[in-house]
Structure 1
Amino acid sequence: MKEESLWYIFINASLINNFVLAYFLGICPFLGVSGKLETATKMGGAVTFVMLISSVCAYGINAFLIAVGAPFLQLISFIVVIASTVQLVEMFVRKMSPALFRALGIFLPLITTNCAILGLALFQTQKGYGMVESLVYALGAGAGFTLALVLIAGLRERLEFAEVPGVVKGTALTLLIAGILSLSFMGFAGLGG
């Protein structure tokens, strides 16, 4: 692996290869929770937290599985860690902010099946990142995920007050906006060198 700076790893995960807008991972909460800016921000925070914890655990699990000669157990181990982490986050949010828990609804438990988090664990091990690089990668991926959620939520809130033709109202307009956001983020691909 060629040596990458921490700043490059962060920018790569958040902008250049944004999990939602470049890899199309995590689309379910991207479309489902992005109706309100406040909810989108808090969901982005929850996903970022789960990504950080999962990244640390994935690094440790990967090192352990390689040491014992059982790398074939990697995928199932990552899934168990992600599901456990989401359960902890769900219990914390339910206790600390019942209003947020109700606002996130089914999308909070769906972080368990969020392919962006599993993708993070698999990508970081595939790239051979160490502990610090894995944390920076997770932080960048979480920041990019939050950025995508906040951008589409802000646009959707603004469009509530706009006159929109009936043919593109609702889901169709949301998907059009998501496509345009994705195209605009493809412009960052030149930063990758």
Structure 2
Amino acid sequence: MSYFLIIISAIFVNNIVLAQFLGICPFLGVSKRISTGIGMTGAVTFVMVIATIVTWLVQDLILIPFGITYLQTISFILIIASLVQLVEIVLKKVSPPLYQALGVFLPLITTNCAILGVAIMTVSKEFNILEAVVFSTASAVGFGLALITFAGIREQLDLMKIPKGMQGAPIALVVAGILALAFMGFAGMV
């Protein structure tokens, strides 16, 4: 039952974007079309899960035993950046079409604070490796749900007549705030 609570909490109650405000840059920047939102969600999910596994192992096998946990943030940043570069190189060699599809999203993931935030949260919540993987996957699904929902709303807004002063970023921020308020309705679930 605890895995179910982790999933519901990460997707709805403590949504990484709408409740914890991590990953706002891609949320606002890549949400103009649903297709780009789906691509970014796939790339973030893959990197977030792999980065969580690697950072959890580094924390448990290196940082804690050697008493150098103060290097956690810098080591996690280096791991995430290296991992994104490695994924980019492997995709370029193994699957050029997938590399072309995700190519624009991979550099954005390096600077996505949601990846680092989830890695640090799994350590601070003292999850075991399986709980960490479930949490990171659910957090990525929550990120994707928020991003794709927001992208759909923004596509609809493009079809509507909006006052000139509210077009673009202003209406996007208003909608993001309303979406965050909607997700606050899940706050009492867990």
Q: Same fold (TM over 0.5)?
A: yes
Q: Secondary structure at the match of 1:82?
A: helix
- Residue 110 (str. 1) matches residue 111 (str. 2): no
Q: Deviations over 1:36-71 (max 9, x none)?
A: 101101101100111100110111011121112221
Runs (5+) with no aligned partner, structure 2 = none
% identical equivalent positions: 47
Q: Distance in 2 between matches of 1:82 and 1:134?
A: 16
**Which one of 3, 6, 15 corresponds to residue 6 of structure 1?**
3
| 1:32–1:91 CA distance, 2 compared to 1 (3 A) | farther
- Residue 21 (str. 1) matches residue 22 (str. 2): no
Q: Which residue of 1 aligns with 2:57?
A: 60
Q: Distance in 1 between matches of 2:154 and 2:121?
A: 31
Q: Aligned-pair distance for 1:98?
A: 5.6
Q: Distance in 2 between matches of 1:99 and 1:158?
A: 27
Q: Secondary structure at the match of 1:109?
A: helix
Alignment length, in residue pairs?
186
Runs (5+) with no aligned partner, structure 1 = none
Q: Distance in 1 between matches of 2:91 and 2:179?
A: 30
Q: Aligned-pair distance for 1:157?
A: 0.9
Q: 1:46 touches 1:89 (CA, 8 Å); kept in 2?
A: no
Q: Distance in 1 between matches of 2:90 and 2:147?
A: 22
Q: Distance in 1 between matches of 2:90 and 2:151?
A: 24
**Which one of 168, 171, 175 corresponds to residue 170 of structure 1?**
168
Q: Distance in 2 between matches of 1:172 and 1:51?
A: 30
Q: Distance in 2 between matches of 1:48 and 1:98?
A: 15
Q: 2:16 touches 2:143 (CA, 8 Å); kept in 1?
A: yes
| 1:112–1:6 CA distance, 2 compared to 1 (3 A) | same
Q: 1:51 touches 1:117 (CA, 8 Å); kept in 2?
A: yes
Q: 1:55 touches 1:121 (CA, 8 Å); kept in 2?
A: yes
Q: Which stretch shows the higher mean deviation, 93-102 or 177-186? A: 93-102
Q: 1:18 touches 1:144 (CA, 8 Å); kept in 2?
A: yes
Q: Give structure 1 regions of 4+ aligned residues with deviation exceeding 6 angstroms.
A: none
| 1:128–1:101 CA distance, 2 compared to 1 (3 A) | closer
- Residue 33 (str. 1) matches residue 30 (str. 2): yes
Q: Aligned-pair distance for 1:135?
A: 0.3
Normalising by structure 1, report the TM-score. Answer: 0.90
Q: Which residue of 2 aligns with 1:81?
A: 79
Q: 2:88 touches 2:99 (CA, 8 Å); kept in 1?
A: no
Q: Which residue of 1 aligns with 2:187?
A: 189
Q: Which stretch shows the higher mean deviation, 127-136 or 110-119? A: 110-119
Q: Distance in 2 between matches of 1:118 and 1:136?
A: 16
Q: Which residue of 2 aligns with 1:50?
A: 47
Q: Secondary structure at the match of 1:191?
A: coil
Q: Secondary structure at the match of 2:56?
A: helix
